[in-house]
């Protein structure tokens, strides 16, 4: 079960739109090392550990990654506000705009859609923790 | 309810600071569940966060739906979403 707190973990307040930057930052949303992969990694792996300290930690970190996911989406959203057609074409944002306009959609900077193959869940706590260290070394 | 006052933004920023402390203490305690000193810190900041969230919700809009005390207008949905530019100052400029 989850509940929602109506604020960002850290405020996002971008003054100038920048579609080129948005396309790069978007990778932290739905790219190979993005927050969507991070949250799904921990929240999927937590069922397979026999240690409550670990399943509890994976639950809390996975939850925190969802808060990061929301901040990254807020950054991309604010970077793509009030763009002119000329800015969209000049910044290289036109291919994304063709399919999604300024909607938030999980993809890597190069346009590859979010893919669950970016993380592992093998049903073995040691195997999973090694994958976590490779993906996101600092918290674990 | 579109532009936040500086007091509203300040309260929100203080809540973010205290809550960040709580998230870190929470994760530390998950792997150190018998550390009494860490639990004391956690309980101390949890009480502060709870009070600040209730004060904010009573004055501006509910931070969680269950903090609503509305009887006339449902401010949980009428207040800005957190990604709107009107949602407070105080972030990276």
Q: What does the DSSP assignment read for A97-138?
A: HHHHTT----B-TTSPBP-GGGS---S-HHHHHHHHHHHHTT
The predicted pLDDT at position B89 comes to 60
B8-49 residue pLDDT tens: 999 999 999 999 999 999 999 999 999 999 999 999 999 999
Whether chain B has a CB inside 8 Å of the CB on A61: the answer is yes
B49-64 residue pLDDT tens: 999 999 999 999 999 9
Q: Over the range A24-41, which residues count as b (16 or more CB within 10 Å of their CB) and which as e? A: ebbbbbbbbebbbbbbbb
Superfamily of domain A19-136: Ferritin, core subunit, four-helix bundle (1.20.1260.10)
What global pTM score does this model have? Answer: 0.94
Q: Measured between CA atoms, how close is A69 to chain B, in angstroms?
A: 12
A86-104 residue pLDDT tens: 999 999 999 999 999 999 9
Q: Contact B33/A53, CB-based, under 8 Å?
A: yes
Contacts of A15 in chain B (CB under 8 A): 93
């Amino acid at each position: 079960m989850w509940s929602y707190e109506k604020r960002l973990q850290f405020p996002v307040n971008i003054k100038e739109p920048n579609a080129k930057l948005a396309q790069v930052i978007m990778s932290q949303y739905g790219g190979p090392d993005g927050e969507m992969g991070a949250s799904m990694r921990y929240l999927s792996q937590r069922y397979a550990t026999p240690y409550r300290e670990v399943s509890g930690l994976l639950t809390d970190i996975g939850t925190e990654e969802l808060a990061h996911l929301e901040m990254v989406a807020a950054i991309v959203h604010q970077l793509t506000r009030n763009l002119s057609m000329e800015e969209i074409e000049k910044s290289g944002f036109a291919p994304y705009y063709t399919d999604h306009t300024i909607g938030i959609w999980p993809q890597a900077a190069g346009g590859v859609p979010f893919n669950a193959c970016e993380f592992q869940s093998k049903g073995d706590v040691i195997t999973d923790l090694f994958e976590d260290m490779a993906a996101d070394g600092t918290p674990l | 309810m579109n532009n936040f006052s500086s007091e509203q933004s300040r309260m929100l920023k203080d809540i973010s600071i205290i809550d960040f402390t709580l998230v870190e203490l929470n994760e530390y305690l998950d792997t150190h569940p018998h550390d009494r000193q860490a639990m004391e810190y956690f309980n101390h900041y949890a009480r502060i966060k709870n009070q600040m969230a209730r004060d904010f919700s009573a004055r501006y809009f509910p931070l969680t739906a269950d903090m609503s005390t509305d009887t006339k207008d449902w401010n949980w949905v009428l207040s800005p979403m957190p990604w709107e530019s009107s949602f407070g100052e105080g972030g990276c400029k």
